[in-house]
Amino acid sequence: MSSELPPENTDKNLGKDTRMHRLPKPSGTLLQELVAAYVRPDGTTGLPVRELTEALQISTETLRVARFQPENLSLASLFGLAECMGMTPGEMVVTVFNQVRQQRRAGQAPPASNPRRRRSQSATPQAPVSNGSAVAPEVTAEYDPDLVQAHETPVVLPLAAALGSQSQPQAAADAWAEDNARKVAYADATFPQQTLALACVQQELSHYFPTTLSMEAWAKALDALKPDLWLETDGELPVTLEQPALVQLLQLLARSKELPRLELAIYPPDVLLMARRLASYSLWAVDLVAEMERNPAAFCPTSFGLLSRLASGHSAEEEVLRAFGEDIATLDTNGKPRSTDELPGSASVIARLFRLRWPTGGPGTFRLPPRPPLGPQAGPPGMA
């Protein structure tokens, strides 16, 4: 029975098409030991401070703390170091994850300030007890020890104490049952939680970018957006993101410098509808220019500025219309084209707006006051 071997991690495909939900086994070495044992191309071992700060994109002061507490580094910094050392992003994540776990088991708490404790509140209130003799059961939050910070003690409260005497209203996005999910801010999330969030993002959006984006690009987009994380107790991934956050993250990734620029743009049908609407507004504004010329005092500066911007047109709406085989000159005219002077942004329309804005001439023109007569017949100073 034959089996195909996966391609090797060469310099060309290093850090690309790597899934974070399939991590290798940890080697047991610390990050500082891994950097010290790295063999450079010239045969020397270790990385100097300059190359470390350049790969991690951090300052020297941050590097001093990150040597012993790598959980303070962002995922983008770790992936940059992995690329510099010729490692896969999964190997770097496993190394840091194993070091954090060892320090946590050894009782080495980081000297950073303790974050706020988040209490668990159930979304469905308990049914009232008629006789008052029954005791409300306690809700024990299921959690993974590796997903909780070392200096943070999980708070487990009784259901009655968490809810109070009356049910409290919650936002629609937070109306999750606490036995299914718990929201954590990205700034308060631990390194394992951020790593699992990156795995969720890759699983949800990887089909948009099959083999182009590197792990560093994924991590930079996630660090730039800083979305709220939902810690799930069931499902394929224990950390998930909301749908609006995924949509925003997709837009950030689509603007990545690693993606090649498309020579021909692809517009969805909704963009065509928006371009038609903006083009109609521009054509209506051109029709109102004649009204402004007849009675300019009837328009306030705000309305004049709005109509001027619309009548000036925009190249984006015309480009979208041309991509779908339409033209602003024949929009809503039953095929009869408009004249050039009636199109938004034409030279005649801009000249008319210019005369309305500066009726006495162009910008910067002014009249000098009359000078007094010179010579013996001139009166005293100040007299004309």
Domain ranges of the chain: 31-105, 269-357
| Closest by CA position to 195, among listed 236, 238, 232, 154 | 238
**Residue in this structure with the two tokens 């290798």, named with its chain if needed:** 24
Structure tokens at 286: 């051109």
In this predicted structure, the answer to whether residue 341 has a pLDDT above a threshold of 70 is: yes
Q: How many CB atoms lie under 10 A from the CB of residue 57?
A: 15
Residue-wise pLDDT for 126-159, tens only, equals 444 444 433 333 333 344 444 444 444 333 333 3
The answer for 104, left when phi > 0, alpha when psi is -120 to 50, beta otherwise, is alpha
Does 172 or 231 have the greater pLDDT score?
A: 231
In this predicted structure, the answer to whether residue 64 has a pLDDT above a threshold of 60 is: yes
Cβ contacts of residue 148 below 8 Å, gap of 6+?
154, 190
In this predicted structure, the answer to whether residue 83 has a pLDDT above a threshold of 60 is: yes
pLDDT at 180: 56
